[in-house]
């Protein structure tokens, strides 16, 4: 075989392998999503949303407590995490733009985004559960907020940086102070971007389990009391999937289906908004 043919063959084989790798990657997506879909839809019942858990063996139980608990924890996490994240991002992109401090905080946030979430769980346990003496919903909300802050902060910083500097200068020229420029001009220009960042960060924390294991813990009963242990979908999935009962497994699949659909829809929505707004 001459050298040209060999080079062509080599190229063909390498490209074929890359294509196979792409198929391999997509196959898992189809496999996992398909599995969750098939098992999840099969197990989806109205009673899942309307009833509270029943003792093992008694049919007709649901996860109403977990849905409500998850909602409470996520909403409070968003209420704590988003303002801190947005304001922090504002500082980095506006008042501290181009300074060394902004650069360092920005890098630290990037690292913080990937810090193991279970470590954050242990940290919150030490400061919010141990002193109180019992697991509580607030600790869970704060743990998720801690995960949210760096995500929102970084997207806000990026989105504010995309607003052209001349726009600010135009507002300065009219004599407005910087805070008015930020709130009335810059935020307005970056609103869609910031909102997308918030959506994606909610998608990120809605599926978190590890930081809730030792903060909000779990609760077999319906509870909206954030001062006590509160149930969440993800922790319930963990408990039910590890449990011995088929009924529990079915409910775990159904809950997984709901949470996967929620997270993926938020993610797709976020991507669509970015695409529609910035390209």
- What is the Cα 48 distance to its own chain's centre? 23
Given the rule CB under 8 A, which of 45-53, 59-67, 122-130, 185-193 is the region that contacts another protein? 122-130
Element (H, E) at 35: helix 3-43
DSSP secondary structure string, 236-260?
A: HHHHHHHSS-HHHHHHHHHHHHHHH
Given the rule CB under 8 A, which of 20-28, 51-59, 68-76, 184-192 is the region that contacts another protein? 20-28
Residues near 193 by beta carbon (within 8 Å), at least 6 away in sequence: 155, 158, 159, 162, 274, 277, 278
Q: Residue 77 in contact with residue 138, Cβ under 8 Å?
A: no
Does 115 sit near another protein (CB under 8 A)? yes
Could you say which residues in the range 48-77 bind another protein, by CB under 8 A? Answer: none
Beta carbon of residue 77, minimum distance to another protein (angstroms, whole number): 14
Among 47, 51, 122, 192, binds another protein (CB under 8 A): 122
Given the rule CB under 8 A, which of 48-56, 58-66, 190-198, 259-267 is the region that contacts another protein? 259-267
Does 79 sit near another protein (CB under 8 A)? no
Nearest to 174 by CA among 187, 184, 164: 184
Given the rule CB under 8 A, which of 28-36, 47-55, 62-70, 219-227 is the region that contacts another protein? 28-36
Among 120, 141, 159, 163, binds another protein (CB under 8 A): 120
Q: Residue 153 in contact with residue 109, Cβ under 8 Å?
A: yes
Among 53, 61, 62, 85, binds another protein (CB under 8 A): 85
Nearer Cβ to another protein (53/229): 229
Q: Residue 249 in contact with residue 241, Cβ under 8 Å?
A: yes
Size of the site for another protein (CB under 8 A): 94
Q: How far apart are CA 254 and CA 256, in angstroms?
A: 5
Nearer Cβ to another protein (188/271): 271
The site string for another protein over 260-279 (x = CB under 8 A, - otherwise) reads x--xx--xx--x--------
Given the rule CB under 8 A, which of 42-50, 51-59, 65-73, 241-249 is the region that contacts another protein? 241-249
Does 256 sit near another protein (CB under 8 A)? yes
Q: Can you tell me which residue has the tokens 């990026």?
A: 158
Q: Residue 152 in contact with residue 268, Cβ under 8 Å?
A: no
Query: DSSP character for 95?
Result: I
Q: How far apart are CA 42 and CA 29, in angstroms?
A: 20
Could you say which residues in the range 216-235 bind another protein, by CB under 8 A? Answer: 217, 234
Could you say which residues in the range 155-214 bind another protein, by CB under 8 A? Answer: 177-179, 182, 203-204, 206-210, 213-214
């Amino acid at each position: 075989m001459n050298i040209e043919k060999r080079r062509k063959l080599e190229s063909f084989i390498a490209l074929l392998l890359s294509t196979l790798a792409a198929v391999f990657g997509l196959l898992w997506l189809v496999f996992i999503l398909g599995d969750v879909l098939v098992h999840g839809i099969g197990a989806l019942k109205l009673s899942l949303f309307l009833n509270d858990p029943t003792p093992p063996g008694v049919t007709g139980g649901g996860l109403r407590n977990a849905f409500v608990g998850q909602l409470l924890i996520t909403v409070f996490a968003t209420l704590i995490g988003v303002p801190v994240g947005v304001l922090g991002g504002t500082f980095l992109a506006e008042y501290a733009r181009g300074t060394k401090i902004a650069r360092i905080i920005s890098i630290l946030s990037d690292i913080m985004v990937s810090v193991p979430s279970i470590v954050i769980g242990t940290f919150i346990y030490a400061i919010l559960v141990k002193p109180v003496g019992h697991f509580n919903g607030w600790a869970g909300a704060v743990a998720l907020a801690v995960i949210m802050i760096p995500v929102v902060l970084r997207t806000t910083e990026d989105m504010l940086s995309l607003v052209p500097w001349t726009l600010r200068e135009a507002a300065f020229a009219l004599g407005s102070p910087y805070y008015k420029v930020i709130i009335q001009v810059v935020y307005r220009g970056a609103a869609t971007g910031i909102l997308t960042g918030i959506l994606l960060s909610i998608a990120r924390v809605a599926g978190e389990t590890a930081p809730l294991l030792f903060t909000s813990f779990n609760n077999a009963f319906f509870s909206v009391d954030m001062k006590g242990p509160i149930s969440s979908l993800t922790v319930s999935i963990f408990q039910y999937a590890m449990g011995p009962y088929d009924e529990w497994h079915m409910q775990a699949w159904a809950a997984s289906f709901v949470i996967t659909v929620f997270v993926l829809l938020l993610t797709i929505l976020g991507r669509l908004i970015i695409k529609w707004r910035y390209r």
